[in-house]
Amino acid sequence: MTNPKYQDWKLVNLDRCCSHEQLRGYKQFLDFIFHDHKWLVLLLARPVFRSQAPKVCLPPPDTSRRDLGRLSLPPEIINLVFGHIEELKDIVALAVSHRLLSVIGWRRLIQVRRAQLAEHSWCDNRIITLGELVNDLEDLPEGAEPRRMRDVLHLPEHGRRKYPSPSDIQDMLNEVRNDLAEIRAERPLMDGDTDDEDFDITDLNHELGFFEFEGDDAEEGFFWFTSKYYPDISQASSERRGGSDYHFDTSSPRIKLDCCRADMFYASTAPYYPAACEWALCNSTRKEYVLASVIAKIPRWQYNCDTRGPFIVDGAYCEKIFDLGALALLLTAWSTDMGSICDKGLWAGERLSILRIEDIGDGERAGWVDVSKEMHKRVEQWMWRHQEHLELNMAI
């Protein structure tokens, strides 16, 4: 049997039935708990979006919709057009094309970015840090069963691809190959037919609508595809992509201006985490929360560290070794046998999020309890228990 001290650990989202690749394959709990867990803070935190477009997006007061040309499209039609665009770069390209389209485009960009963030966020999901000694659903804490009853030790990775991978395409083609073979076996050969066992089915790629785009993601693959097969529009497409890949030396003054405006659109619609606000790790199942500013001041180890929004950063006299992400891992750790690592997590399998204080309970904190002092004491005692490990491995 595996020694509890050396068991593998995995961070699992029970609502989405997925695990996260950042926490997989470590042999000891203490080897990863004191690392930087900004990735988990970002996964659990609910960022803020700007509510108003920058003044540079607003058209001059004397602007008329007739400036759009003979169509003179009303705002309702423009909204409808933007509502059918999902790609961020397409929205930006249309929004910067005319000052009358800027505000509507900016609002649509905010809407899409909110939706994309919500799709990948783990905010207010049921989280558990699972040890490998858990081999049965009955070993999970009460109420922590996955949304789909399946073996939580073999969950898919977080952030699955939205488009078919090359292996997915090959599997689909193999299915079609088998279907054709069955059809061929069931019907008699007609005049002119051949029974060629070496029949090549790869030409069905185009019939099935599959294109094996090169690149790390679908967008890069698309622009590689246009560059190779449609060189005449390659330059135009790259100029409209946005970001830092514009060709300023070959672009016209109008394109350069569009580039600057596009960068402004991306920057002004990006999610952000106000540094001046107080943030907390929240448990909506129990209606409890822990302030980041309290966890930042654990005596001896990271006393007098600073907070920047939901993030704990190094202080003037010490380095950060424990943040809200580490606290979430510690409070959700669960295994059949924990050994001497720590107690079973009080919050294992419960709904966690990282929110601004004013956002807790949708702005109404009635019924919520601040357990910062209790958790501060719990973490401090746990660190003293592993003082030898900290001194040997953290040089403190």
pLDDT tens profile 20-42? 777 665 567 887 888 888 999 99
pLDDT in tens, 306-360: 899 999 988 776 778 899 999 999 999 888 787 777 788 899 989 999 999 999 9
Look at residue 111 and give its three-state secondary structure.
helix
In the chain, DSSP finds a helix count (H) and a strand count (E) of: 14, 10
What value does the mean pLDDT take over residues 114-124? 90
Report the DSSP pairing between strands 288-291 and 279-283: antiparallel
Q: How far apart are the C-alpha atoms of 340 and 39, rounded to whole Å?
A: 27
Q: What is the pLDDT of residue 326?
A: 92
Task: Identify the band that residue 181 occupies on the pLDDT scale cut at 50, 70 and 90.
Answer: low
pLDDT of residue 390: 80
- Give pLDDT tens digits for 261-308: 788 888 888 888 998 899 999 999 999 999 999 999 888 778 778 899
Check residues 362 and 39 and name the one with the higher pLDDT: 39
Q: What pTM was computed for the model?
A: 0.69
Q: Residue 185: left (phi > 0), alpha (psi -120 to 50), or beta?
A: alpha
- Torsion sign, CA atoms 276, 278, 279, 285: negative
Q: In this structure, what DSSP letter does residue 45 have? A: B
> What pLDDT does residue 187 have?
56
User: And the tokens for 13?
Assistant: 């989202």
Amino acid at 385: R
Specify the DSSP element, H or E, that contains 293: helix 292-295
pLDDT for 9 beyond 90: no
Nearest CA-CA partner of 73 in 82, 84, 86 = 82
| 213 vs 225, more confident | 225
The pLDDT-based confidence of 244 (bands split at 50, 70, 90) is very low
Tokens 């001290």 -> residue: 5
Sign of the Cα torsion 189, 194, 200, 205 reads: negative
Question: Is residue 313 within 8 Å of residue 321, measured between CB atoms?
Answer: no
CA distance 154 to 147: 14
3-state SS of 212-279 is CCCCCCHHHHHHHHHHHHCHHHHHHHHHCCCCCCCCCCCCCHHHHHHHHHHHHHHHHCCCECCCCCCE
Average pLDDT over residues 213-238: 46
